[in-house]
């Protein structure tokens, strides 16, 4: 399978996800002109493909949230984080996926893997570009932000109540404030 074949499979799977449909490997194989066995051999299993799609959608959503944010430094980080939280929480494909298969969603999004890695890398880059010195490496801080965000965004999967967006934004702001390195005056 070439890179073009992989791209075609991910595009087809993304289209199904965005339309609120489950990812059926047999349908995807037929759509891209591969046998089901070849699809599995070259792409991996169903969960791996779902993770690829969700990681890609995470990046697309993040980049969408970056667009139009004109402030700089920590104000930019805060604005992008807030926009990202609301974009994910309000995304119909995410809501449809959670309603259809909450256990698969938890397994792929809340466990370490492609989605967490992509989100962490994107937030780490944003933090590094902020011009702020942090007391911990930006990748560590970014992973903490992603994990805290996930725990509040998807709290309804664990306790039957709506996402606590205001609380997570306040908590992440506290974390970002406390993570800034405070060098003593010279």
pLDDT tens digit string along 26-35? 999 999 999 9
Backbone angles phi, psi at 84, to 5 degrees: -65, -45
CA distance 170 to 164: 10
pLDDT tens digit string along 7-16? 889 999 999 9
Whole-prediction pTM: 0.89
pLDDT score, position 59: 97
Cα angle 40-44-48, degrees, rounded to a multiple of 5: 135
Candidates 88, 27, 81, 82; CA nearest to 57 is 88
pLDDT tens digit string along 78-131? 999 999 999 998 999 998 998 899 899 989 998 899 999 999 999 999 999 999
Identify whether the C-beta of residue 69 lies closer than 8 Å to the C-beta of residue 83. Answer: yes
């Amino acid at each position: 399978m070439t890179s073009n074949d992989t791209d075609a499979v991910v595009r087809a799977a993304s289209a199904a996800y965005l339309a609120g449909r489950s990812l059926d490997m047999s349908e995807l194989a037929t759509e891209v002109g591969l046998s089901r066995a070849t699809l599995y051999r070259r792409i991996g299993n169903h969960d791996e493909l779902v993770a690829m799609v969700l990681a890609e959608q995470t990046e697309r959503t993040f980049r969408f949230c970056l667009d139009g944010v004109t402030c700089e430094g920590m104000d930019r980080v805060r604005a992008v984080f807030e926009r990202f939280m609301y974009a994910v929480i309000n995304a119909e494909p995410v809501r449809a996926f959670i309603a259809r298969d909450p256990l698969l969603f938890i397994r792929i999004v809340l466990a370490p893997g492609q989605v967490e890695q992509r989100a962490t890398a994107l937030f780490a880059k944003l933090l590094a570009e902020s011009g702020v010195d942090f007391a911990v490496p930006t990748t560590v801080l970014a992973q903490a932000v992603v994990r805290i965000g996930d725990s509040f965004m998807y709290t309804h999967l664990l306790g039957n109540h709506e996402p606590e967006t205001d609380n997570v934004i306040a908590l992440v702001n506290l974390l970002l404030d406390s993570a800034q390195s405070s060098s003593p005056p010279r």
